[in-house]
Amino acid sequence: MSTTALSDVTTPTTTPTATSPTAGAHARIPVRRLVTVELRKCFDTRSGFWLLVGTGLAAVAATVLVIAFAPADQLSYGTFTLAIGKPMSVLLPLIALLSVTAEWTQRSGLTTFSLVPHRGRVILAKGIAMLTVGVVAMVLAFPLGALGNIAGTTIHGLEPVWDQTVTDLAYYALANTLLMAVGFMLGVLIRASAGAIVTYFIYAFVAPTLLTFLAMGQEWFRNAQPWVDPNYSQDALFHGGFSAEQWAQLGVTSAAWLVAPLTIGLVTLLRSEVK
Amino acid sequence: MLTVERLTKRYGSAVAVDDITFTARPGRVTGFLGPNGAGKSTTMRMMVGLTWPTAGAATVLGRRFTDLPNPGREVGVLLDASAQHAGRTGREILTLAAQTMGLPASRVQEMLAKVSLTDIEAQRRVRDYSLGMRQRLGIATALIGDPQVLILDEPANGLDPAGIRWMRDLLRSYADRGGTVLLSSHLLHEIEVIADDLVVIGHGRIVAQGTKADLLASTGTLVQTRDGATLTTALDSAGTTYTGHGVRGATGITTLRVDADPEHVGQHAARAGVALLELRPAEGAGLEEMFLELTAQTQREGAVA
């Protein structure tokens, strides 16, 4: 049998049947719906669910620990919100990171990106979903801190100290949001859960310690650190009261360590092959 | 209707898919057949926008896949049944698909019933699913939007014989209602049973395409007679070509391989008054021989048969 002859075989002509399973135009999928789906995807797996529950439990535990162990004269609203913010600042970025990397590491992206063949819209929806998670976390953290403050001072028989202004809380919320954005950026850039998590921990825990040592030993770095170390300026946000120079420093470090790698990550993500 | 025009994918100097053109038509099941690494999956990923083609285009219902406003409502896609978050339940995966497409939650239950996943199975996490169950879930995900076109990559993998029969009946009735089905496979028997049309690919190129009937008919008929001379004269006058397989000396039996179907040969033999000893489709009329032959030059495994 000759193979060349076969490739010339005329293609079949069939009469298409009148009734197709469906016909007609469909509306474009709105981003709002994608956000709802992406939010659901963060918490509908066992790992996602426990990460969420763990964040909540850690916040409550932090409150209880402050009441139990903090010196009575240091009990204030600010003490509580800072304590609650610690576990949140560790765990919320992981949720953001995993929301992106799971599509590649768990390969669910094959379905996600064929249902919505515009990856930019999916990533945008993920970003909005993560922002929503961050806002909800703050909305829960502030009353939790207030409850802790009232409970703690009542137990110690003191008047509660409300040392946080709305501006302070805004700084606090911005700090948490930036940390989540860093997690999200690492997810977009690395697109593999294990690698992104390791990088995140190096960024959030290893690097700051090393850079602190460097700053202690080297004067030139001590002066340069606010302009090059993203953790330095982000951490300062938790304490509020930024000067114009501090905003400039935050802007410079965020542009270099958040916006630039996020842009690179997005460009490669849009071009890459989903397998 | 699914149209692929001059689709090409190169990775550096390596060519994964080389200038492929074919059409999958409504009401037909089109089998996309080829050995592993032939480029089937790459072609299918290009059809649904997961891989950008180097050249060429694929259109579904006259539009590029990425231009469809809600692709899941028009094209059901199953590329890899195992590509799901292992920590989600089967029901949850269907719910996510339904929500993305804007379908009512009742569709989830309907689809679970359609692919015979029980409520208990649907509550289990996909990591505990067998490959067969994952394929059923994948089919359910593809069908949930009630699409007109199905693109399925190796959907029969991991199914038991009953599952394969179920899949065949499902796709048959889907096509009979006017749907377009493109399914890939390296399982020859599978495709032979399900498909109406075939596109055979080897090393990124199409090596054969056409209706299954046409492709199989071209393998011809084996006929045996003691009166070889009369038969060849009859075939010659009918303009039918044949090749002689020799005459067995003592018995005088002539064996011919005729490039026509058995009925055609039988009628000419009858008209010429030739008694036949044997009349049957040529050996290896099955797709397997054709497939191995067609892809022999391009196959990685070499001589499998």
How confident is the model over A15-46, as pLDDT tens digits? Answer: 333 334 444 578 999 999 999 999 999 999 98
Is A11 in contact with B52 (Cβ distance < 8 A)?
no
Domain count, chain A: 1
Which value does ipTM take for this structure?
A: 0.85
pLDDT higher than 80, residue B189: no
A200 part of a folded domain: yes
Domains in chain B: boundaries: 2-210, 220-281
Residue of B nearest to A11 (CA): B210
Q: For residues A86 and A101, what is the distance between their CA atoms, to the nearest angstrom?
A: 24
A23 part of a folded domain: no
Residue range B24-52: mean pLDDT, rounded:
94
List of chain B residues whose C-beta atoms are within 8 Å of the C-beta of residue A19: 177-178
Diameter over CA atoms, chain B = 77
Residue range B172-197: mean pLDDT, rounded:
90
C-beta of residue A83 within 8 angstroms of C-beta of residue A63 = yes
Per-position b or e across B124-146, b if 16+ CB within 10 A of its CB? ebbeebeebbbbbbbbbbbbbbb
Residue range B37-45: mean pLDDT, rounded:
93
pLDDT higher than 50, residue A258: yes
pLDDT above 70 as % of chain A:
91
pLDDT band with cut points at 50, 70 and 90 for residue A256? very high
**Predicted local distance difference test score (pLDDT) of residue B238:** 87
Residue of B nearest to A117 (CA): B66
Q: H or E stretch including B19?
A: strand B14-24
pLDDT single digits (tens) A61-93: 999 999 999 988 889 999 999 999 989 999 999
CB atoms within 10 A of CB B2: 23
pLDDT above 90 as % of chain A:
69
A18 part of a folded domain: no
Kindly report the nearest CA distance between residue A187 and chain B, in angstroms. 16
C-beta of residue A203 within 8 angstroms of C-beta of residue A90 = no
**Predicted local distance difference test score (pLDDT) of residue B286:** 54
| Tokens coding B183 | 């399914």
Q: For residues A20 and A31, what is the distance between their CA atoms, to the nearest angstrom?
A: 29
Is B50 in contact with A20 (Cβ distance < 8 A)?
no
B23 touches chain A (CB under 8 A): yes
Q: Could you check whether B2-210 and B220-281 share the same CATH topology?
A: no
Sheet of strand B14-24, all strands in order from the earlier edge strand to the far edge: B14-24, B2-11, B55-60, B63-64
pLDDT higher than 70, residue B265: yes
CATH topology of domain B2-210: Rossmann fold (3.40.50)
Is A21 in contact with B50 (Cβ distance < 8 A)?
no
Q: pLDDT: is B246 or B1 the higher one?
A: B1
Residue range B152-173: mean pLDDT, rounded:
91
Q: pLDDT: is B281 or B148 the higher one?
A: B148
Kindly report the nearest CA distance between residue B267 and chain A, in angstroms. 24
Which residues does B242 contact at the CB level (< 8 Å), separation at least 6? B232, B235, B256, B257, B258, B259
Q: For residues A86 and B273, what is the distance between their CA atoms, to the nearest angstrom?
A: 98
pLDDT band with cut points at 50, 70 and 90 for residue B154? very high
Which of B3, B145, B131 lies closest to B75, judged by CA? B145
Pick from B48, B69, B215: CB nearest A114: B48
pLDDT single digits (tens) B54-108: 999 999 989 999 999 999 999 999 999 999 999 999 999 999 999 999 999 999 9
Which of B159, B152, B121 lies closest to B138, judged by CA? B152
Which of A161, A135, A137, A139 lies closest to A148, judged by CA? A161
pLDDT higher than 80, residue A9: no
**Predicted local distance difference test score (pLDDT) of residue A55:** 93
**Average pLDDT taken over every residue of chain A:** 88
Is B210 in contact with A6 (Cβ distance < 8 A)?
yes
List of chain A residues whose C-beta atoms are within 8 Å of the C-beta of residue B45: 273-275
**Predicted local distance difference test score (pLDDT) of residue B298:** 52
- Say which range, A250-254, B275-279, B288-292, has the weakest mean pLDDT: B288-292
Residue of B nearest to A25 (CA): B69
**Predicted local distance difference test score (pLDDT) of residue B290:** 62
Burial category of A194 from C-beta neighbours within 10 Å (exposed 0-12, middle 13-18, buried 19 and up): exposed
CATH topology of domain B220-281: Alpha-Beta Plaits (3.30.70)
Domain that holds residue A115: 30-268
C-beta of residue B107 within 8 angstroms of C-beta of residue B144 = yes
Q: What share of chain A is helix, strand, coil (3-state, %, to 5)?
A: 80, 0, 20
Length of chain B: 305
Chains A–B, number of C-beta pairs less than 8 Å apart: 172
Residue range A147-176: mean pLDDT, rounded:
91
Report DSSP letters for A133-167, one per residue: HHHHHHHHHHHHHHHHHHHHHHHHT-PPP----HH
List of chain A residues whose C-beta atoms are within 8 Å of the C-beta of residue B219: 1
List of chain A residues whose C-beta atoms are within 8 Å of the C-beta of residue B12: none
Chain B stretch 101-160, residues whose beta carbon is closer than 8 A to a beta carbon of chain A: 101-102, 125, 141, 146-148
Q: H or E stretch including B260?
A: none
Kindly report the nearest CA distance between residue A180 and chain B, in angstroms. 22
Kindly report the nearest CA distance between residue B248 and chain A, in angstroms. 24
Burial category of A3 from C-beta neighbours within 10 Å (exposed 0-12, middle 13-18, buried 19 and up): middle
C-beta of residue A117 within 8 angstroms of C-beta of residue B49 = yes
Per mean pLDDT, which of A110-114, A164-168, B205-209, B297-301 is the most reliable?
A110-114
Is A40 in contact with B147 (Cβ distance < 8 A)?
no
**Predicted local distance difference test score (pLDDT) of residue B303:** 43
A14 part of a folded domain: no
pLDDT band with cut points at 50, 70 and 90 for residue B295? low
**Predicted local distance difference test score (pLDDT) of residue A12:** 39
Q: For residues A65 and B12, what is the distance between their CA atoms, to the nearest angstrom?
A: 59
B12 touches chain A (CB under 8 A): no
The strand pair at B63-64 and B221-225 is best described as unpaired
**Predicted local distance difference test score (pLDDT) of residue A17:** 39
Burial category of B3 from C-beta neighbours within 10 Å (exposed 0-12, middle 13-18, buried 19 and up): middle
pLDDT band with cut points at 50, 70 and 90 for residue A126? very high
Per-residue DSSP letter, A256: I
pLDDT band with cut points at 50, 70 and 90 for residue B42? very high
The strand pair at B197-202 and B29-33 is best described as parallel
- Say which range, A68-72, A142-146, B248-252, has the weakest mean pLDDT: B248-252
Helix (H, G, I), strand (E, B) or coil at A264: helix
Say how far residue B115 (Cα) sits from the centre of its chain. 21
Is B96 in contact with A44 (Cβ distance < 8 A)?
yes
Residue of B nearest to A270 (CA): B50
C-beta of residue A157 within 8 angstroms of C-beta of residue A126 = no
What are the C-alpha distances in Å from A221 to residues A19, A207, A226, B54?
73, 14, 9, 48
In terms of phi and psi (left: phi > 0; alpha: psi -120 to 50; beta: otherwise), the region of B8 is beta
Q: For residues B22 and B10, what is the distance between their CA atoms, to the nearest angstrom?
A: 19
Is A29 in contact with B70 (Cβ distance < 8 A)?
yes
Taking chain B, what is the end-to-end CA distance rounded to the nearest angstrom? 35
- Which residue carries 């700051």 as its tokens? A208
**Predicted local distance difference test score (pLDDT) of residue A121:** 97
A2 part of a folded domain: no
Which of B219, B217, B254 lies closest to B235, judged by CA? B254
Is B27 in contact with A14 (Cβ distance < 8 A)?
yes
Residue of B nearest to A48 (CA): B87
pLDDT band with cut points at 50, 70 and 90 for residue B294? low
Residue range B5-31: mean pLDDT, rounded:
96
Q: For residues B68 and B96, what is the distance between their CA atoms, to the nearest angstrom?
A: 19
**Predicted local distance difference test score (pLDDT) of residue B36:** 82
List of chain A residues whose C-beta atoms are within 8 Å of the C-beta of residue B101: 29, 115
Is A18 in contact with B178 (Cβ distance < 8 A)?
yes
Burial category of A217 from C-beta neighbours within 10 Å (exposed 0-12, middle 13-18, buried 19 and up): exposed
